[in-house]
Structure 1
Amino acid sequence: MASLFTARIRFRLLQVMGFFIGLVGQAVRAFGGPKLGSMITRPVSEPLLLLSGVQLAKLIRQRKVKCIDVIQAYISRIMDVNPLINGIVKYRFEEAKKEAHAVDMKLLENWEDDATLEKKWPFLGVPLTVKEAFQLQGMPNSSGLVNRRNVISKTDATVVALLKEAGAIPLGITNCSELCMWYESSNKIYGRSNNPYDLQHIVGGSSGGEGCTLAAACSVIGVGSDIGGSIRMPAFFNGIFGHKPSPGVVSNQGQFPMAKGVQELFLCTGPMCRYAEDLVPMLRVMAGPGIKKLKLDEKVNLKDLKFYWMEHDGGSLLMSRVDQELIMAQKKVVAHLETVLGASVQHVKLKQMKYSFQLWITMMSAKGHDGKEAVKFVDLLNSHGKPISPLWELIKWCLGLSVHTIPVIGLALMEEKFKYDTEKYKKFKAMKESLLKELVEMLGDDGVFLYPSHPTVAPKHHVPLTRPYNFAYTGVFNALGLPVTQCPLGLNTKGLPLGIQVVAGPFNDHLTLAVAQYLEKSFGGWVCPGKF
C-alpha cells in the first residue's frame, strides 16, 4: 500500500505529479467526458428500507414482517439506484432470496421467544453488503486488480462468516479502490462509484462502494476495513456511521491484500451502517472472541465524559485547510455538548498532529518485530508472476493501455525511486510515541476527542489526485492505534454530508459508540439522498 514510500522528496514529487494528472483529467472531462446528473431524485418510499438492522431483525423474529419481503424490497431499491452509483459490483440475489425463504420457514417451525431468538440470531434476515476485498463464498475477491478478476472466493472471511451465523443475508459485494490503497473507489474491473448525494463527487476509499451503497439505502449494514481511513472517509463522504475498532479486536483474516508485518497493527476491520444503534450489535458479532477486550457492557453517562476538540491539524503544508462549514458543524456540536448536555468540553492544540501524514507513512514503512520489511507494493502488481515496470505502466497509461489506475502506478514509481530512511523513521517514531502518550493521558478512560474527518466534504471525482495527503486526518489514528467512530452531522449548503470523528483511548470503543448514538439523536444522523 502507500506504506511503502518514504522521505520528504517523494511527497513533493507525488503531489506535483498528481496536480498535473488532475489537470489532464479535468481537461478530458471538459471535452466530451461522461456527463452525470447531480443528484438521485428518487428518495426512499418503501418503509422497510428506513429501519435499522436491529429493528428489521426484531420484526422478522416476531413474524411481523417476512424476511423475503425485506430482501425483495432491497433488491428493488438496488435495481433502481445502483446503476447510478455503481456501489454493488456483483449481486447474489437468487441466493439471498433462497436464504430469506429459509429464514421464514425456520420461524414457522421455531416458536422460541424473541429474547432466545435474538441471542441466537441478532441479525436474522437483515440485508448485508460486503466490501469486495473480503472473501464471500462464490463471489469475486480481486480488490480491483485485473490479474485477479477471475479469483472466486471458496470460503468466507472471518467477519463475514460471523455475520452470516448471526442471521445476516448478503446481497452482494461492493466496490473499492485498486488494491485498497486510494481514497477514490475506482478500478479497471468495476469502474468508478458515485456519491448518492451528488454523482459528480467521490464516495471515498477504499470501502467506498460500501459507503455509497449504505447511504443510498441499498443495504442496511456492511463490512469495511481501515488502514488509513478506509472505513471513516467513505462513512464521512456518504453521511453514514463507521467504526474503526481498537486494533486486535476484530479479525482481519480473509481479505486481500492482507497486511503483513507491522502493518497488521494498523489494519482494522469494522462495521459500517446507516443507524448508530446497529454499531454495537455489529461489533459484538464481528469481534467474536475479541469482544472480551472491550467494555461494551459498561453504561456510559455522557454528562460525566470529558470532551476535547481541535478544529484542524495545526497547519500542515501538505494538507488542505479545513472547510469553514466543517468547522462550524464541529462548533455546533461543541456548543450543544456544553449547553444542552452540560458536559465538560475543552479546546486543545496538539502540536504534533501537524505531522499526521509523516507519522502514518513512517509507521507503515517500519519493519516488523521479526525484522522483516512489508511486502513490496509493486510485487502485488505482478502479472502472472512476472514483475511489472512502473515507468512502462505509466507510458501505457498515457496511451490508454494500462490495466492499472494512475494512483497505483504513481505509488509503485515512488516506491521504486526512494529507499527507507532509518534516521527519519527514528525521528517520527519518537514523535508518534510522544503524541500517543499525550492523547492517552488526556483522554484516560472517560474522555473523547472530536476531530475533523477530512479537510473537505466529498470532493469531485479526480480531485484527490491533487490532494493526496488529506487522508492523514483519518490515517493518524491508525498509526496511533486508537478507536474512532465516524458520525454524520447532516448536510452542507450544497447537500453534501458533514461529519466528525470521535476518538477514545485504547479499548474504550464503548465511549465513542455511545457518543455516536447521542449525536444521531441530537443532529439527525443519516439523511436520505433526494430529500433536500
Structure 2
Amino acid sequence: MVLAILKSLARVLSTIISTVIAFLIYGWRPRNPVPPVQNSLLLMSGTTLARKIRNREITSVEVLKAYINRIQEVEPIINAVVCDRFDEALKEARYIDKVLDSGNVPAYYSREKAPFLGVPFTTKEAFAHKGMTNTSGLVSRKNMLCTKDAAVVARMKEAGAIPIAVTNCSELCMWYESSNFIYGRSNNPYDARRIVGGSSGGEGALHAASGTPIGIGSDIGGSIRMPCFFNGIFGHKPSSGIIPNFGQFPMATGKRNDFLSTGPMCRFAEDLEPMFRVLAGEEGLSKLKMDTTVDLKSLRYFTIVDDGDAGYCSRVSQELRDAQAKAAKYIEESLNVPVVKTMVHRLRLSLPIWSAMMSKHGEVSFTDLMTDGGPQVYPAWELLKWVFQLSNHTLPAIGLGIVEKFDEMMMSKDLQERLCKASDKLRRDFEELLGSDGVLLYPSHPKVAPYHNSPLFTPMNFAYTGIFNMMGFPVTQVPLGLNADGVPLGVQVIALTHNDHLTMAVARKLEEAFGGWKEPV
C-alpha cells in the first residue's frame, strides 16, 4: 500500500513538474507546423508512385526532385535529415528512366523483382548505407562513413528503390526523444515545440512532413511505434526474427536480437505490406501467412485501455481513450462483430519485465556502447561534465548508464528470474486470449507527442510499446486523426507471433474510417 501511494505521488509530481516547465519554456512560442504540400506527387503512396513510374505517367526524376525540394523546404523546421545523397540519387533516377523509356527492361527491373522501381526511400541513420554516416548520434563516430549497406537497405535497392537520405535518432537509439550532440534535436511537423519520438524519430518526422514516401526504422522498446504515433503515420514492428537486423549500429546481440525488430514506416497503409515483403525476403515470408486472405469479420477483437494503472507510467489521457473507443466502435459497427473490453493483469509488470529481460540478456552494456571501443565511460563523471557542458553525451544517455549500474546493484538474480518467468506467463495470457484469430487494440503511449524534454520526467511511458518487444508479437501502429490542438492520435494493433497479416489488414480497415495520415495544419 505504501509503495502504491509513493508511486502515485511520484507520478503526480512528475506530471506537475513537466507541465509547468513545458508551459514556461514552450507555452508562449508558436506551433510552427510545416508548410502545406504544393506538389501532388508528394501526396501519393510509394506503391502508386512505383506504378505510375513504370507506366511512364511520371518519371523517377520528377519524383526525386519533388522530394528533394520538399526536404529542403521543411528541414529548417524539423531538422530530420542528417546526411543526404541527392546528387547520386538523381543520377540513379535518370538511369532508371532511361531504361524504362527504352522499352528493353531487364528481368531484375520487372514488377515482381523491383516493386518500388524509381521510388525514393529513407532510413534512420542507425542503418548502414555505403558512403554515408552511421553514428547513431555518438560523437566519437562523427566522421565514420559506411563501406557497405545494411541488409534491409540492400533489399530495398534490389527492389528498385533509391535511397536519398538518412534521418536523426537519439544517442545510441535508446531514448524516445531524437536529439544528440552531432545533429541536434528534431522537431514535430505538427508542432515544432513537441518531440518526434525515438529512436526512429527523424524518420517519423520526415514522413509526416511529406519528405519521404517510404522508410525503415527499428524497434527494441517502441522505436518504430512511438515516432509513428507522435507523427501520425503507419509503422509495423514485425514478429521476432522475420526481418534481418544486420547492419545497424548499435547492433543487438544474443537474445536481444530477438527483441529488436526492423520494419516499414509510411504515410499510407497500402505501402506496409509491399515494403514488409521486400524487407522480409523469401526466408522471412516462408514463416508467415501473408498470402492468406484475411476475413476481417471472422476475427475476434479485443481492447485494453491501459496497463492496469501500475503506477510506473502516466495515466492514459482521455483523448486517447476516446480515440481508441471510436476505433473499437467503428470495427463493431462496420463489421458487425463485438470488440471485447478486457484486461491482462500482468501488463502491470510491463516495465519491470522489459528491464529484467534486457538486463538478463545484455551481453554488451549500454556504457560499453558509449565507449565504442574508446576509453571507458563513467556515467557519474559524465553527469558532472554535463552540468558544465563538457560532456559529449546527452543527459538521457548518461542517465541510462547510471540506471544500468543501479539495476545491476538493486535487481537480485532471484527477482530477475521471477520477472523473466512472469514474461513467459504474460505471453501465455496473450496466447489464451488471442489465439490464431484475435487482434488487440492497445494504447501506443499514455500521452500525445509531449513537449521537448518532457520525457525526462516521464521516462517509463515507453512501457506501453516495450512490452511487445519482449513478447515478439507483431504490432502495427495506426494513426487515428488529430486532436483539438492538431496533434496526432493513434493506437497499436497487436496479434500473436507470425500473424503480421492480421494487424496490417486491420490497419487498412481503420484507415478507411479515420483517414490515416493527416497533413499538418
> Is the 2:109–2:117 Cα contact (8 Å) retained in structure 1?
no
Instruction: Give the Å deviation of 1:261.
Output: 2.0
Partner deviation per Cα, 1:243-297 (whole Å, 9 max, x = no partner): 0000100000000000112211100000000000000000100011211111111
Aligned to 1:447: 438
> Is the 1:53–1:278 Cα contact (8 Å) retained in structure 2?
yes
**Alpha-carbon distance change, 407 to 66 in structure 1, aligned in 2, over 3 angstroms:** same
Matched, 1:219 2:212: yes
Say which SS state the counterpart of residue 83 (structure 1) adopts. Answer: helix
Aligned with residue 495 of structure 2, among 504, 512, 525: 504
- Report the Cα distance in structure 1 between the residues aligned to 2:290 and 2:331, rounded to whole angstroms: 22
Matched, 1:93 2:82: no
> Is the 2:124–2:168 Cα contact (8 Å) retained in structure 1?
yes
Partner deviation per Cα, 1:338-396 (whole Å, 9 max, x = no partner): 122212311111111111101111111114xxxxx521111112276210221111111
- Report the Cα distance in structure 1 between the residues aligned to 2:106 and 2:148, rounded to whole angstroms: 32
Aligned with residue 297 of structure 1, among 278, 291, 301: 291
Aligned with residue 170 of structure 2, among 169, 177, 199: 177
Partner deviation per Cα, 1:286-342 (whole Å, 9 max, x = no partner): 011211111111000101110000111111111100010000011111111112221
- Report the Cα distance in structure 2 between the residues aligned to 1:314 and 1:204, rounded to whole angstroms: 24
- Report the Cα distance in structure 1 between the residues aligned to 2:269 and 2:398, rounded to whole angstroms: 38
Aligned with residue 329 of structure 1, among 323, 328, 337: 323
> Is the 2:169–2:199 Cα contact (8 Å) retained in structure 1?
yes
**Alpha-carbon distance change, 102 to 186 in structure 1, aligned in 2, over 3 angstroms:** same
**Alpha-carbon distance change, 113 to 36 in structure 1, aligned in 2, over 3 angstroms:** farther
**Alpha-carbon distance change, 46 to 340 in structure 1, aligned in 2, over 3 angstroms:** same
Q: Which stretch shows the higher mean deviation, 498-507 or 289-298? A: 289-298
Partner deviation per Cα, 1:24-49 (whole Å, 9 max, x = no partner): 9949x958x99863132521111100
Aligned to 1:143: 136
**Alpha-carbon distance change, 158 to 175 in structure 1, aligned in 2, over 3 angstroms:** same
Aligned with residue 427 of structure 1, among 418, 428, 431: 418
- Report the Cα distance in structure 2 between the residues aligned to 1:99 and 1:112, rounded to whole angstroms: 15
Say which SS state the counterpart of residue 112 (structure 2) adopts. Answer: helix
Aligned to 1:200: 193
Aligned with residue 125 of structure 2, among 122, 132, 136: 132
Q: Which stretch shows the higher mean deviation, 267-276 or 436-445? A: 436-445
- Report the Cα distance in structure 2 between the residues aligned to 1:484 and 1:389, rounded to whole angstroms: 36
Instruction: Give the Å deviation of 1:89.
Output: 1.0
Report % sequence identity. 51
Aligned to 2:246: 253
Aligned with residue 306 of structure 1, among 300, 318, 321: 300
Aligned to 1:319: 313
Aligned to 2:399: 410
- Report the Cα distance in structure 2 between the residues aligned to 1:43 and 1:470, rounded to whole angstroms: 32
Aligned to 2:368: 379
**Alpha-carbon distance change, 459 to 317 in structure 1, aligned in 2, over 3 angstroms:** same
Aligned to 1:483: 474
Aligned to 2:454: 463
Aligned to 2:483: 492
Say which SS state the counterpart of residue 119 (structure 1) adopts. Answer: coil
Instruction: Give the Å deviation of 1:473.
Output: 0.2
Matched, 1:342 2:336: yes
Which amino acid is the alignment partner of residue 517 of structure 1? Answer: R
Partner deviation per Cα, 1:185-212 (whole Å, 9 max, x = no partner): 0000000000000000000000000000
**Superposed structure 1 runs of 4+ greater than 6 Å apart:** 22-25, 113-116
> Is the 2:303–2:440 Cα contact (8 Å) retained in structure 1?
yes
TM-score (norm 2): 0.94
Partner deviation per Cα, 1:62-103 (whole Å, 9 max, x = no partner): 111011000000111111111110111111110111011011
Aligned to 1:189: 182
> Is the 1:62–1:114 Cα contact (8 Å) retained in structure 2?
no
**Alpha-carbon distance change, 442 to 167 in structure 1, aligned in 2, over 3 angstroms:** same
> Is the 2:233–2:266 Cα contact (8 Å) retained in structure 1?
yes
> Is the 1:25–1:462 Cα contact (8 Å) retained in structure 2?
no
Matched, 1:393 2:382: yes
> Is the 2:108–2:114 Cα contact (8 Å) retained in structure 1?
no
Partner deviation per Cα, 1:483-509 (whole Å, 9 max, x = no partner): 000000000111100000000011000
Say which SS state the counterpart of residue 460 (structure 2) adopts. Answer: coil
Give unmatched runs, 5+ long, in structure 2. none
- Report the Cα distance in structure 2 between the residues aligned to 1:110 and 1:164, rounded to whole angstroms: 21
1:115-130 matched pairs, under 5 angstroms: 117-130=110-123
- Report the Cα distance in structure 2 between the residues aligned to 1:47 and 1:115, rounded to whole angstroms: 29
- Indicate the RMSD between aligned Cα atoms, in angstroms: 2.4
- Report the Cα distance in structure 2 between the residues aligned to 1:108 and 1:114, rounded to whole angstroms: 15
Q: How many residues align?
A: 511
Aligned to 1:3: none
Which amino acid is the alignment partner of residue 219 of structure 2? Answer: D
Partner deviation per Cα, 1:442-472 (whole Å, 9 max, x = no partner): 2111110100000000000000000000000
> Is the 2:479–2:488 Cα contact (8 Å) retained in structure 1?
yes
Q: Which stretch shows the higher mean deviation, 281-290 or 107-116? A: 107-116
Which amino acid is the alignment partner of residue 237 of structure 2? Answer: K
> Is the 2:34–2:209 Cα contact (8 Å) retained in structure 1?
no
Which amino acid is the alignment partner of residue 499 of structure 2? Answer: N
Aligned with residue 360 of structure 1, among 354, 378, 386: 354
- Report the Cα distance in structure 1 between the residues aligned to 2:480 and 2:291, rounded to whole angstroms: 26
Instruction: Give the Å deviation of 1:159.
Output: 0.2
**Alpha-carbon distance change, 97 to 458 in structure 1, aligned in 2, over 3 angstroms:** same
> Is the 1:394–1:409 Cα contact (8 Å) retained in structure 2?
yes
1:50-69 matched pairs, under 5 angstroms: 50-69=43-62
TM-score (norm 1): 0.92
Say which SS state the counterpart of residue 107 (structure 1) adopts. Answer: helix
- Report the Cα distance in structure 2 between the residues aligned to 1:344 and 1:67, rounded to whole angstroms: 46
- Report the Cα distance in structure 1 between the residues aligned to 2:55 and 2:510, rounded to whole angstroms: 29
Say which SS state the counterpart of residue 57 (structure 2) adopts. Answer: coil
Aligned with residue 277 of structure 1, among 240, 259, 270: 270
Which amino acid is the alignment partner of residue 198 of structure 1? Answer: D
Which amino acid is the alignment partner of residue 475 of structure 2? Answer: V
Give unmatched runs, 5+ long, in structure 1. 1-7, 368-372
- Report the Cα distance in structure 1 between the residues aligned to 2:123 and 2:509, rounded to whole angstroms: 27
- Report the Cα distance in structure 2 between the residues aligned to 1:34 and 1:255, rounded to whole angstroms: 38
